[in-house]
């Protein structure tokens, strides 16, 4: 996959799809920010987890497992602070407005629905390489950037541990 993202980013197999901005119900920024905050807290690898925190984490995990959330198929994506790259057989135009559907966690599967605009579309045989610019409010962008940076650091740590 062609990655057009500079700066902190990560590439992974994640539930992802491009959606139509006119038919998609957007969750509130408040909901997405709270989700990103809870996800960050849950992903912390600390040895000193208090009993109350462990109980809360377990309740959240059980609640997430009880939900019947339909996620899109996983595919290779590169996620940056304000851009996302992916490949598709579908044809989209540069400047198309839409919604990125992305799940950062399969343990807590909330489908983030992020408004975006396609800024680059390059053919590679039958496949198209797309880059979309996210259009997030400042508070949501701050929390999304923190999540991307966390995953970016984790990807670097994994590469170092395999060498």
- pLDDT above 80 for 30: yes
Q: What is the mean pLDDT of residues 74-87?
A: 96
Q: Exposed, middle or buried: residue 130 (CB in 10 Å: 0-12, 13-18, 19+)?
A: buried
> Cα dist. 65→27, 40, 62, 109, 159 in Å?
20, 18, 5, 9, 30
pTM of the predicted protein model: 0.80
Total count of domains within the chain: 1
Domain that holds residue 150: 9-162
**82 pLDDT band (50/70/90 cuts)?**
very high
- Give the CATH number for residue 90: 2.40.10.220
- pLDDT above 80 for 102: yes
Going by C-alpha positions, the residue among 161, 159, 147 that lies closest to residue 110 is 147
Residue 3 lies inside a defined structural domain of this protein: no
Residue 140 lies inside a defined structural domain of this protein: yes
Residue 1 lies inside a defined structural domain of this protein: no
DSSP class per residue in 46-60: -S---HHHHHHHHHH
Residue 118 near residue 132, CB atoms below 8 Å: yes
């Amino acid at each position: 996959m062609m990655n057009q993202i500079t700066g902190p980013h990560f590439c992974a197999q994640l539930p992802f799809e491009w959606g139509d901005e006119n038919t998609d119900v957007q969750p509130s920024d408040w909901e997405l920010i709270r989700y990103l905050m809870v996800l960050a807290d849950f992903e912390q690898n600390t040895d000193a987890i208090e009993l109350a925190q462990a109980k809360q984490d377990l309740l959240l995990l059980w609640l997430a497992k009880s939900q019947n959330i339909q996620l899109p198929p996983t595919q290779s994506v590169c996620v940056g602070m304000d851009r996302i790259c992916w490949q598709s057989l579908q044809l989209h135009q540069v400047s198309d407005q839409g919604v990125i559907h992305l799940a950062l966690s399969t343990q807590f599967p909330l489908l983030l629905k992020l408004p975006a605009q396609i800024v680059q579309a390059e053919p590679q045989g039958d496949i198209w390489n797309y880059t979309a610019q996210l259009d997030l409010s400042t508070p949501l962008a701050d929390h999304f950037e923190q999540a991307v940076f966390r995953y970016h650091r984790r990807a670097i740590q994994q590469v170092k541990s395999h060498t």
